[in-house]
Amino acid sequence: MKILGASDADLAVAAGALREGKLVAIPTETVYGLGGNGFDPVALARIFEAKRRPTFDPLILHIAGLEELDRVADLSLLSRESVDRLDRLSHTLWPGPLTLILPKRAAVPDLATSGLSTVAVRFPAHRVAQRIIRLAGVPIAAPSANPFGYLSPTRAEHVAQQLGDRIDYIVDGGRCSVGVESTILDLSSGGPRILRPGGTARERIEGLIGPVELWKGTGATPTAPGQLASHYAPHAALELYPRGALERLGPPQAGEGYVFFDSPSREAWLRRWGPSVVSGTEAPVLRLLSEGGSLLEAAANLFEILHELDSLALKRVYVERVPDEGLGAAINDRLFRARSTAKPGAPL
Ligand code: TXA
Ligand code: MG
């Protein structure tokens, strides 16, 4: 595996490798993606293999312009209402952290969609991703660049640690600004449904197209494995508590991590436990998602902090939920699935 930068020469190498069917991890504004040529079944199979991902789990195809949508999605199969919704959403929220489920074109290999008649499409906002897709000249299939079920990567180093020996290149585009995966919205039939909360807030979508349903999977046959009860999990045991509840746990011990949403929560905890921590020899690790209580900042820091705590080999990590509005819905969703009490595949 070789790490590339964002120079013209490096991006040409990345695009050339993708065209040849190699695997290239690429930066996007949400998380790093494990990219492969979306029209090449062998490249798609390599993605599943590198991720150790069950093949029932379909991939997102990434495009670099609205005009490319027609290559992967058959919009003639959409109802008038859905076409209208697609127009509003794609013109306002693309490029950005929104994935749309649409009827698929025959040219899209079944391996990309796990045999479904629909395809997931996203136009990412990251300039480096856009340039690579354009240079490659094909849609790029890219799941999050982590082994199946583990934390998503928000830095090139995370990808190198997790998948470095299984892929050809990593393009280092710096830290991901959004930090949680895209919101997945199904427009393919019936009313619009959010299949996965993510980097585009539900309120933003509803402001454009009216009410959308939040789809609650059965867990047994997930439409999106991000819907599996256990996903995005760190190695440490993660326990999730209501906001403000961490100060009621204790006494704190070495080998533990505490992740607070904002400084008032941390201050309250420190008032209660600070003296014992200061006098003890081995303190727990304290982290803050956002000093000023910004959900945008908290989303950007979420996986970053969980990766860091995992690298410290902590036994147990206590996290408080964040307000359930805007990007908070996506953060709470990821935390819920990352908690250690969740059983893989269990109903939600
Ligand atoms: O932000 C993101 O979306 C990142 C970056 C790299 O773009 N990608 C990402 O991909 O999160 P992945 O593969 O980790 O998650 C994609 C989700 C999966 O849970 C998959 O089941 C769902 O999208 N999906 C893909 N195609 C689908 C379809 N036709 N119908 C329903 N769900 C679909
Ligand atoms: Mg993923």
Residue 223 has pLDDT above 60, yes or no: no
Q: Which two tokens stand for residue 231?
A: 């996903």
Ligand 1 atom closest to the Cα of residue 120 is 26
**First-to-last C-alpha distance (Å) of the chain:** 37
Question: How far is it, in rounded angstroms, from Cα 191 to Cα 90?
Answer: 17
Tens-digit pLDDT profile for residues 330-348: 999 999 988 876 444 444 3
Using an 8 Å Cβ cutoff, are 297 and 154 in contact? no
Domain map (residue ranges) of the chain:
2-214, 237-338
Q: Ligand 1 centroid to 17 CA: how many Å?
A: 23
Question: How far is it, in rounded angstroms, from Cα 264 to Cα 106?
Answer: 54
CATH topology of domain 2-214: DHBP synthase (3.90.870)
Phi/psi at 61 (5° precision): -95, 130
Q: Ligand 2 centroid to 162 CA: how many Å?
A: 13
Q: Is the dihedral of CA 223, 229, 230, 232 positive or negative?
A: positive
Ligand 1 atom closest to the Cα of residue 180 is 1
Ligand 1 atom closest to the Cα of residue 32 is 6
Question: How far is it, in rounded angstroms, from Cα 68 to Cα 255?
Answer: 50
Tens-digit pLDDT profile for residues 300-321: 999 999 999 988 989 999 999 9
Tens-digit pLDDT profile for residues 76-111: 999 999 999 999 999 999 999 999 999 999 999 999
Q: Ligand 2 centroid to 143 CA: how many Å?
A: 6
Residue 238: DSSP 8-state: E
Find tokens 């991902």 and name the residue.
53
Pocket of ligand 1 (CB under 6 A): 28, 30-31, 33, 57-60, 97, 99, 101, 113, 116, 118-120, 122, 124, 142-144, 181-182, 184, 195, 223-226
Question: How far is it, in rounded angstroms, from Cα 205 to Cα 148?
Answer: 28
For residue 90, how many other CB atoms are within 10 A of its CB?
18
- Report the 3 state secondary structure along 14-25: HHHHHHCCCCEE
Q: Which CATH class is domain 237-338?
A: alpha beta
Residue 310 is which amino acid? D
Tens-digit pLDDT profile for residues 109-137: 999 998 899 999 999 999 999 999 999 99
Q: Give the per-residue pLDDT at 280.
A: 62
Q: How confident is the model at residue 282 (pLDDT cuts 50, 70, 90)?
A: low
